[in-house]
Amino acid sequence: MSIGSETLSPPPPSRLLFALESRAVLEWAALPLAWPLLKRAPRGDGHPVMVLPGLVAGDSSTWPLRRLLEELGYVSYPWQLGVNFGPRGETVPKLLARVRRIERKHGRKLSLIGWSLGGAMARAVGAHLPDSVRNVITLGSPVQPHGRATNAWKIFEAVSGWRTDDPELRRMASVQPPMPNTSIFSKADGIVSWKVSLAPDADRSENIEIAASHLGMGVNPLVLWAVADRLAQPEGGWQPFRRDGLLRRMLFRKPHHFRLAQWL
């Protein structure tokens, strides 16, 4: 599959997987039950963390994740740019300025977490501001430049004003942030093809597969635990995610192992 050829892009997830996105209701319902355990997740150094929402979503969608980050001692920030309609108008300059302000306020780099489209934008910000960002974590995000490998590309084009085959957009989607970056994804994602959620092989880049829906990714207890684990890595001492023990190997999967969902 050639990154430079849109015609060879993976197809969007099947209609069956798209229909199964309704299971996100169960993930949202499971969050209160898992909350006591999540409060015991790994803790880091309390650095600032900004969370970016997905396409046509706003800060209310990321509130549970930000609330958990605060419980774990981090300084949590919403992106405060309204509904995410993509990189249109002044959105990108405002986002870059906000990241710089937070970094100056705390005198230390911040981590970025992005859900879906928010993750793709977080990677671009990290590549543009390597002196302000220490870590990038994406949740079900298209991190490869295949704009039509999702079931939301028509919505993206309608609200963002960009065509998915625009060379400039593809260039922005191709950037590789130099800091540690983690792509958390699901082969049962009904919105974004898991194949374009695989971060390219690179130094300090990794992929973690978790059984989750796309619409429940930001509240799935396993996803939140993995996020906490990655944020707890010391600055300058990052290590790849460890799958020690049978339970971790079952819950946090290696992305290149076969899953039935990838054929649905």
pLDDT digits (tens, 9 = 90+) for 152-180: 999 999 999 999 988 988 888 888 899 99
For residue 259, the model assigns a pLDDT of 57
Average pLDDT over residues 39-51: 96
Mean per-residue pLDDT over the chain, rounded:
91
**Residue 262 pLDDT exceeds 70:** no
State how far the alpha carbon of 141 is from the alpha carbons of 45, 52, 144, in Å: 26, 11, 9
The domains located in the chain, with CATH, are 6-263 (3.40.50.1820)
Q: Return the H-helix or E-strand segment holding 9.
A: none
For residue 159, the model assigns a pLDDT of 95
**Residue 3 pLDDT exceeds 50:** no
Q: 106: which 2 tokens?
A: 């705390």
Average pLDDT over residues 15-31: 95
For residue 136, the model assigns a pLDDT of 98
Contact between 84 and 65 (Cβ < 8 Å): no
Q: pLDDT class for 256, splitting at 50, 70, 90? A: low
State how far the alpha carbon of 240 is from the alpha carbons of 109, 115, 155, 206, 243, in Å: 20, 21, 35, 7, 10
Q: pLDDT class for 5, splitting at 50, 70, 90? A: very low
**Residue 7 pLDDT exceeds 90:** no
**Residue 124 pLDDT exceeds 90:** yes
For residue 201, the model assigns a pLDDT of 79
Contact between 84 and 53 (Cβ < 8 Å): yes
Q: What is the share, in percent, of the chain residues with pLDDT greater than 70?
A: 94
**Residue 255 pLDDT exceeds 80:** no
**Residue 35 pLDDT exceeds 90:** yes
